[in-house]
A = this chain, B = another copy of it.
């Protein structure tokens, strides 16, 4: 992040990153699949936040209800864990490079697919499973984009709620 904010993502080589971190280029690639991956959380972060809650939702919760609950808890975690300023700094870098943006939406698409699978696991039929998953990610993406925008002060939770209400209002 330091190097990226100083000279920019493309002007920073992974040899630079490795040297700055005190290790070898080869070792870098043993920890991260590729250069972009340094900017994305490792492990099961996304999974724990988005798909686990959906998979664990009780049977009497509707498909849209399951993703709504997941979004609410995810919002709380994200406000605390990386923090808003960290998210803003990271977002500035990601937004500055097409490859990084692509990776970001790719990750979210992967999460959407996992949510859809979780929905199917709770007995939701197919068009609904994928649609509610995509809805969830769409609501999150729009809310997150506003959350990290300059001058925005409302909480991520509020913005997600507003997204969900906006969707309901749009299709009404």
Contact = CB atoms under 8 A, between A and B. Distances in A.
Interface of A: 62-64, 98, 101-103, 105-106, 108-109, 127-128, 130-132, 134-135, 137-139, 141-142, 145-146, 162-163, 166-171
B109 A130 contact: no
Contacts of A138: 131, 134-135, 137-138
How many copies of the polypeptide does the oligomer hold?
2
Contacts of A166: 127-128, 131
Given A102-B106, A103-B102, A171-B64, A141 B145 contact: no
A162 B127 CA distance: 8
Considering residues A127, A128, A139, which has the most beta carbons from chain B within 10 angstroms of its beta carbon?
A: A127
A167 B132 CA distance: 7
4 closest A-B pairs by beta carbon, nearest first, are A102-B106, A134-B138, A105-B109, A127-B166
Given A103-B102, A106-B102, A142-B127, A135 B170 contact: yes
Most buried by B among A63, A101, A134, A170: A170
A53 to B, nearest CB: 17
A141 B135 contact: no
Contact of A101 (B106, B127, B130, B135): B106
B101 A131 contact: no
Contacts of A139: 131
A163 B64 CA distance: 15
Contact of A170 (B128, B163, B169): B128
Nearest to A142: B130
A103 B108 CA distance: 13
